[in-house]
Amino acid sequence: MPAKTISKKKVTKTNKVKKEILSTENVSISHKELNTQTQVKEYTPSKPAYELEIDKIFQLQKENRWNIANTSAEERITKLKKLREALERRADELKLAVYKDFRKSPHEVDMTEIFPVIQEIKDACRNLRSWMSPKSVSTPLTLFGSTSKIIYEPKGQVFIIGPWNYPFHLVVAPLVAAVAAGNVVVVRPSSNTPNTSEFTKSLLAEVFPENEVTVTLCDRNAADYWLTKPFDHIFFTGSPEIGVKIMEAAAKNLASVTLELGGKSPVIVDETANMDYTITNLLWGKVLNGGQTCVGVDYALVQETRIPEFIEKIKARIREFYGNLPENWQASPDFCRIINDKNFQRLKDLIDSARSMGANLVEGGYFDEKERYISPTVLSGVTLDMPIMKEEIFGPILPIISYKNIEEAIQIIQSKPKPLALYMFSEDTANIRKVLKNTSSGGAVINGVILHLINDHLPFGGVNHSGLGNYHGFFGFKAFSHERAFLKLNKLDLLVLRKLMPPYTKTTKKISDFIMKYL
Rounded distance between C-alpha atoms, residue 160 and residue 168, angstroms:
12
311 and 165 Cβ atoms separated by less than 8 Å: no
Rounded distance between C-alpha atoms, residue 379 and residue 311, angstroms:
9
260 counts as catalytic: yes
Residue 505 DSSP label: -
Cβ partners under 8 Å of residue 288, min gap 6: 108, 112, 296, 450
Cβ partners under 8 Å of residue 23, min gap 6: none
312 counts as catalytic: no
Rounded-to-10 torsion of CA 143, 146, 152, 155: -60
DSSP 236-291: EES-HHHHHHHHHHHHHTT-EEEEE-----EEEE-TT--HHHHHHHHHHHHHGGGG
User: If we measure between CA atoms, which residue out of 11, 47, 202, 132 comes closest to residue 481?
Assistant: 132
Cβ partners under 8 Å of residue 101, min gap 6: 167, 192, 193, 194, 195, 196, 339
CA 364, 367, 372, 373 torsion-angle sign: negative
Crossing angle of helices 491-499 and 506-518, rounded to 10°: 120
Of the candidates 108, 113, 212, 260, the residue annotated as catalytic is 260
Of the candidates 113, 125, 294, 392, the residue annotated as catalytic is 294
Run of H or E residues at 89: helix 73-89
Residue 448 DSSP label: -
CB < 8 Å & 24+ apart, contacts of 449-455: 449/267, 449/281, 449/282, 449/284, 449/285, 449/295, 449/296, 449/297, 449/421, 449/423, 450/284, 450/285, 450/288, 450/293, 450/295, 450/296, 450/421, 452/421, 453/116, 453/295, 454/116, 454/119
Q: How many CB atoms lie within 10 A of CB 409?
A: 26
User: If we measure between CA atoms, which residue out of 187, 151, 190 comes closest to residue 69?
Assistant: 151
Give me the active site residues, please. Answer: 260, 294
